[in-house]
């Protein structure tokens, strides 16, 4: 990595000039959340600026503000010392800002050249046609400039993730991008591919491109970064040099909060019988060898970074994804079927996306509340509107769901009340194990406390809960135990007295 | 400002959206009848009204099964071709065995089997219903044309023909069948847990599956029922026409979809009623009957059908409260 070292030396010289690009006091608010709060940030040409933070710290929002997808509420942008405006993606492009998202924006059925010059194709002699020779030659030149040796006539769908990433970068370079934003670019790459990417980054640095790099991997934060900015809760915590801090320091900065959460939780003296036991569970969605146990009266946390496989684990347990290996024992009984079997046995899944996976938005609150309990309430198969409304209204009262009536379409309720409907649906079904996937996402503080009170009551009454959450503070506060995931595996288990945000973050980090 | 002391279950809350939508349609059907009574001399006669009901019943048989499919968010384009193959095979069975009972069972059985095949394609092979049943349409056409070889089947036992053209207590037999299946369809959709699950699947199939509904089994049932209803329609067709050929029923698919849409069932699934489809079939039949009586050139009929479908769906979208 001598190339990297050289370019690091070059940076210190360049930094005497104003930064290539600078954000000052950027704020962005959404109803109920301050996504970005007075964030300042700068990059010099030929520099890799690392952006570090937990899920929800504001990295994605910052990136979206940079590329013009969001408009900042406050703050200013400066390009080479001059004030500029970013009100649209076109503005960002004009400034030479390009973002390489984790989800690529390439068209799979077009070839590399067409993707690089999408919307800017060189015109052929006949109006409306593309000059095929020129587009291929131009593409070849761009690809050569980043050292990517490939035939530009190959269609994108034939390429692997790493190659597609190269095409994305080539596309950005062809648009004269001077500021490249990369969102966890190594997340899907093999070691060999990662090396190639790092070589390309060194090359881009040498050409004076400024790189903003979002990462969860400590190793690359130190080896690649010229500076590191840590975000937390939408605020910039600090900007540091990699030589001046340890990885423990960084973890502390990412977590370092002592929010007092007064969620009620009555911990049981001793946990009850084993409700769920999972042994060596694997599925096609990338999880492998998962072992976990949930006992009656427990709330067990499932933590880890977004993409570490938490949702995939609970989907496999519930039967929404097919298990390829392993065993799931529920209440001592082996289960292997789909969600209908899970529901019949007494499992409940409260999915992360209420609207897409939890509710039928066009149907009424009442219809949604009884949908999983139809078999239980009407064992003979004949549905009775009166009985159904009675059950629904009991739940509405019991859970204090705020709705004008059980006939109201559930899509018109607030997020917190919608979540209560999803939970109520499983209460009606008489579920014994509740699996929550980010139960408080998009819910305001008051409703959060109510949801946790509800979960607490459930387990106190003899149910059990498995809870995914990206909010480590929540996990630490309400869970009896927690498993931490990393790269599709369980990286560790933390008992109640061991639970701390720092431990969770540390276990969940990639150490490769 | 709203008065918060007012009871929240007042006004339209008492009537469900579905009931309101059906009420509008009944009103429209009534207005069409009134207009035709005034405009023509021949509309308001027993003979004509029975004729309208009999025609509407044929359309309803196919459209009622289709309604269930559409309620799940799917579509069955093979129903017309299913009528043809079911009629031709049932006709052969009756000719060979002389047993109308066996013929009826065959017709419904073949129709149901075709429907089940559609269901398997949609659930096990995960082919979008639109494409699976569209392919099935061609396959069935091919088989039926090969099977019939350009021949026409004639002459069925008089007892069998009663199903299509007979009367009981002054009403055509198909009208009784219409009432029976309207009742069964409505009870199934509104008063059984399976019916409720079908609505839930149509409103959000992902959520339905994660709520523990056996989505694949319900879909299989719904496509099978749709096919069986096409089989039933084929029997009544056969009995009424007293003949069968390969292109019998070919022209029924699009009017059946029209009846479902005019009846207020959403093509996106989860909204609609079997009773609405009955009213839709009635409205469509009334309009076409009225145009005949008014001596409007028959070539205008498709245009009018299209306009009614578009109008009905547009009005639905305007009047339904949006929640999604």
Instruction: Give the Cβ contact number of residue B12 at 10 Å.
Output: 11
Which residues of chain B does A383 touch, with a Cβ-Cβ cutoff of 8 Å?
190-193, 195-196
Question: Among A356, A372, A412, whose Cβ lies nearest the Cβ of B211?
Answer: A372
Residues of B whose CB is below 8 A from A361: 203-204, 323-324
**Does some domain include residue B254?**
no
Q: Kindly report the backbone phi and psi dihedral angles of residue B87, in degrees, each rounded to the nearest multiple of 5, phi listed first.
A: -65, -45
The closest CB to that of A383, out of B192, B211, B270, belongs to: B192
- Asked if the C-beta of A419 comes within 8 angstroms of chain B's C-beta atoms, the answer is no
Separation in Å, CA of A393 to nearest CA in chain B: 13
Q: Which residues of A touch B200 (CB under 8 A)?
A: 360, 363, 367, 371
Q: Which of A311, A317, A340 should one mutate to test binding to chain B, selecting the residue with the greatest count of B CBs within 10 A?
A: A340
What are the distances in angstroms from CA B89 to CA A99, B43, B244, B246? Answer: 63, 37, 9, 10
CA–CA separation, B175 and A381 (whole Å): 29
| Closest partner CB to B213 (pick from A318, A340, A384) | A340
CA distance A312 to chain B (A): 14
Pseudo-torsion of CA A338, A343, A345, A351, nearest 10°? 90
Distance CA B213, CA A371 (A): 8
Using CB atoms, pick whichever of B192, B206, B324 lies closest to residue A362.
Answer: B324
User: How many structural domains is chain B composed of?
Assistant: 1
The residue of chain A nearest to residue B269, with distances taken between CA atoms, is A362
Within 10 Å of residue A398's Cβ, how many Cβ atoms?
A: 12
Give me the half-sphere count of Cα atoms (radius 13 Å) on the Cβ side of residue B114.
36
Residues of chain A with pLDDT under 70: 1-16, 31-33, 55-56, 256-263, 444-446, 510-512
Does B125 map to a domain? yes
Going from the first residue of chain B to its last (324 residues), give the mean pLDDT of each consecutive group of 10, the final group possibly shorter. Answer: 34 57 90 92 90 92 96 96 96 93 96 98 96 97 93 89 89 93 95 96 96 96 97 94 87 93 92 94 94 90 91 81 52
A344 CB near a chain B CB, below 8 Å?
yes
- Largest Cα–Cα distance in chain B? 75
Q: Is A343 within 8 Å of B9 when comparing Cβ atoms?
A: no
Residue B299 within a domain: no
Give the integer Cα–Cα distance in Å for A348 and A461. Answer: 16
Strands A235-240 and A274-283, by their bridges, are unpaired
Coil, helix or strand for A301? Answer: strand
Where b means 16+ CB within 10 Å and e means fewer, B214-239 reads bbbebbbbbbbbbbbbbbbbbbbbbb
* Residues belonging to chain A: 512
How far apart, in whole angstroms, are the C-alpha atoms of residue A359 and residue A371?
Answer: 10
Task: Report yes or no on B273 lying in a domain.
Answer: no
Confirm whether B143 is domain-assigned: yes
Structural domain includes residue B173: yes
Residues whose CB falls within 8 Å of the CB of residue A371, separated by 6 or more in sequence, listed in order = A360, A425, B196, B197, B200, B208, B211, B213
Does A429 sit within 8 Å of B212, measured CB to CB? yes
**Among A343, A356, A407, whose Cβ lies nearest the Cβ of B212?**
A343
Chain B's closest residue to A344, CA to CA, is B212
3-state secondary structure of A220: helix
Instruction: Tally A–B CB contacts below 8 A.
Output: 95
CB A455 within 8 A of CB A467: yes
**Burial (0-12, 13-18, 19+ Cβ within 10 Å), B10:** exposed
Query: Do A371 and B197 make contact, defined as CB atoms within 8 angstroms?
Result: yes
> pLDDT at position A17, please?
73
Q: Give pLDDT, residue B320.
A: 67
| Helices and strands (H, E) in chain A, number of each type | 18, 20
Q: Which chain B residue has the Cα nearest residue A339?
A: B212
Q: What is the nearest CA distance from B107 to chain A, expressed in angstroms?
A: 28
- Looking only at the bridges linking them, the beta strands covering A74-79 and A21-30 are antiparallel
- Inter-residue contact A78 to A22 (CB < 8 Å): yes
Q: Residue B297 falls within a domain, yes or no?
A: no
A250 and A88 Cβ atoms separated by less than 8 Å: no
The alpha-carbon gap from A433 to the nearest alpha carbon of chain B, in Å, equals: 14
Let me know if residue B234 belongs to a domain: yes
CA distance A280 to B269: 39
Integer Cα distance of A51 and A59 in angstroms: 7
- Kindly provide the b/e burial profile for residues B125-157, where b requires at least 16 CB atoms within 10 angstroms of the residue's own CB: eebebeebbbebbeebbebbbeebeeeebeebe
Interface predicted TM-score (ipTM) of this complex, two decimals: 0.87
CB burial class (10 A; 0-12, 13-18, 19+) of residue B96?
Answer: exposed
Whether A404 and chain B come into contact, CB under 8 Å, resolves to yes
In the numeric block, the tokens 């075709």 are attached to B114
Domain span at B69: 44-249
Using CB atoms and an 8 Å cut-off, which of residues 211-250 of chain A contact chain B? none
Q: Nearest C-alpha of chain B: how many angstroms from A503?
A: 33
Three-state secondary structure string covering chain B: CCCCCCCCCCHHHHCCHHHHHHHHHHHHHHHHHHHHHHHCCCCCCHHHHHHHHHHHHHHHHHHHHHHHHHHCCCCCCCHHHHHHHHHHHHHHHHHHHCCHHHHHHHHHHHHHHHHHHHHHHHHCCCCCHHHHHHHHHHHHHHHHHHHHCCCCEECCCHHHHHHHHCEECCEEHHHHHHHHHHHHHHHHHHHEHHHHHHHHHHHCHHHHHHCCCCHHHHHHHHHHHHHHHHHHHHHHHHHHHCEECCCCCHHHHHHHHHHHHHCCCCCCCCCCCHHHHHHHHHHHHHHHHHHHHCCCCHHHHHHHHHHHHHHHHHHHHHHCCCCC
SS3 A213: strand
Extract the tokens encoding A168: 């994305």
């Amino acid at each position: 990595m001598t190339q990297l070292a050289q370019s690091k030396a070059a940076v210190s010289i360049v930094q005497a000039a104003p930064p290539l690009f600078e954000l000052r006091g950027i704020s962005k608010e959404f109803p109920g959340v301050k996504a970005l709060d007075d964030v300042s940030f700068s990059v010099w040409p030929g520099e890799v600026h690392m952006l570090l933070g937990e899920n929800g710290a504001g990295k994605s929002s910052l990136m979206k503000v940079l590329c013009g997808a969001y408009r900042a509420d406050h703050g200013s942008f400066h390009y080479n010392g001059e004030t500029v405006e970013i009100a649209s993606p076109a503005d960002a492009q004009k400034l030479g800002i390009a973002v390489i998202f984790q989800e690529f924006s390439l068209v799979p059925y077009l070839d590399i050249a067409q993707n690089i010059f999408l919307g800017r194709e060189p015109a052929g002699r006949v109006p409306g046609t593309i000059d095929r020779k020129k587009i291929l030659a131009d593409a070849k030149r761009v690809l050569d400039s980043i050292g990517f040796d490939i035939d530009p006539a190959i269609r994108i769908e034939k390429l692997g993730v790493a190659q597609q990433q190269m095409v994305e970068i080539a596309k950005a370079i062809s648009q004269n991008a001077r500021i490249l934003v990369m969102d966890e670019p190594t997340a899907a790459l093999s070691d060999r591919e990662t090396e190639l990417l790092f070589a390309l980054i060194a090359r881009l640095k040498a050409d004076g491109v400024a790189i903003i790099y979002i990462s969860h991997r400590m190793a690359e934060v130190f080896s690649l970064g010229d500076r590191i900015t840590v975000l937390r809760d939408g605020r910039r915590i600090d900007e540091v040099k990699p030589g001046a801090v340890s990885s423990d320091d960084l973890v502390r900065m990412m977590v370092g909060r002592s929010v007092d959460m007064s969620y009620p939780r009555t911990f049981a003296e001793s946990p009850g019988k084993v409700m769920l036991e999972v042994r060596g569970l694997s599925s096609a969605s990338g999880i492998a060898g998962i072992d976990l146990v949930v006992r009656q009266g427990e709330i067990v946390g499932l933590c880890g970074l977004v993409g570490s496989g938490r949702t995939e684990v609970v989907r496999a347990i519930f039967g929404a994804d097919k298990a390829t290996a392993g065993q799931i024992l529920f209440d001592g009984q082996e289960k292997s079927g789909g969600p209908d079997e899970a529901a019949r046995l007494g499992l409940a899944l409260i999915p992360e996306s209420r609207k897409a996976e939890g509710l039928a938005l066009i149907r009424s609150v009442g219809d949604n509340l009884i949908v999983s309990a139809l078999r239980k309430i009407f064992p003979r198969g004949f549905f009775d509107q009166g009985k159904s409304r009675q059950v629904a209204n009991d739940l509405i009262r019991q859970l204090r769901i705020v709705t004008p009536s059980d006939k109201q379409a559930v899509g018109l309720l607030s997020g917190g009340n919608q979540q209560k409907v999803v939970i109520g649906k499983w209460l009606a079904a008489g579920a014994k194990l509740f699996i929550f996937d980010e139960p408080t996402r998009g819910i305001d503080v008051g409703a959060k406390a109510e949801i946790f009170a509800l979960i607490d009551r459930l387990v106190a009454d003899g149910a059990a809960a498995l809870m995914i959450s990206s909010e480590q503070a929540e996990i630490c506060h309400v869970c009896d135990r927690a498993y931490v995931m990393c790269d599709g595996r369980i990286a560790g288990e933390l008992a109640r007295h061991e639970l701390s945000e720092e431990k969770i973050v540390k276990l969940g980090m990639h150490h490769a | 400002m709203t008065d918060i002391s007012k009871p929240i279950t007042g006004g339209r809350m008492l009537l469900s959206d579905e009931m309101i939508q059906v009420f509008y349609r009944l009103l429209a059907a009534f207005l069409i009848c009134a207009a035709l009574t005034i405009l023509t001399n021949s509309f308001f006669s027993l003979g004509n009204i029975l004729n309208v009901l009999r025609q509407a019943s044929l359309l309803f048989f196919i459209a009622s099964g289709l309604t269930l499919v559409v309620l799940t968010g799917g579509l069955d384009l093979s129903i017309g071709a299913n009528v043809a193959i079911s009629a031709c095979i049932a006709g052969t069975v009756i000719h060979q065995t002389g047993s109308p009972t066996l013929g009826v069972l065959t017709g419904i059985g073949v129709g149901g089997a075709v429907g089940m095949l559609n269901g398997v394609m949609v659930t096990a092979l995960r082919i979008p219903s639109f494409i699976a049943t569209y392919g099935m349409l061609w396959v069935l056409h091919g088989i039926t044309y090969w099977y019939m070889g350009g021949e026409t089947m004639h002459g069925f036992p008089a007892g069998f023909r009663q199903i299509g053209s007979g009367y009981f207590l002054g009403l055509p037999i198909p009208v009784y069948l219409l009432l029976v299946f309207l009742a069964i369809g409505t009870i199934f959709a509104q008063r059984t847990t399976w019916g409720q699950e079908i609505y839930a699947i149509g409103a959000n199939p992902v959520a339905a599956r994660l709520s523990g509904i056996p989505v694949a089994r319900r879909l299989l049932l719904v496509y099978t029922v749709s096919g069986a209803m096409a089989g039933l329609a084929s029997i009544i067709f056969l009995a009424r026409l007293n003949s069968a050929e390969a292109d019998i029923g070919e022209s029924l698919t699009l009017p059946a979809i029209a009846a479902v849409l005019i009846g207020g069932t959403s093509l996106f699934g989860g909204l609609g009623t079997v009773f609405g489809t009955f009213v839709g079939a009635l409205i469509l039949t009334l309009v076409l009957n009225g145009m005949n009586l008014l001596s409007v050139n028959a070539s205008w009929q498709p245009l009018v059908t299209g306009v009614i479908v578009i109008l009905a769906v547009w009005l639905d979208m305007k009047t339904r409260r949006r929640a999604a």
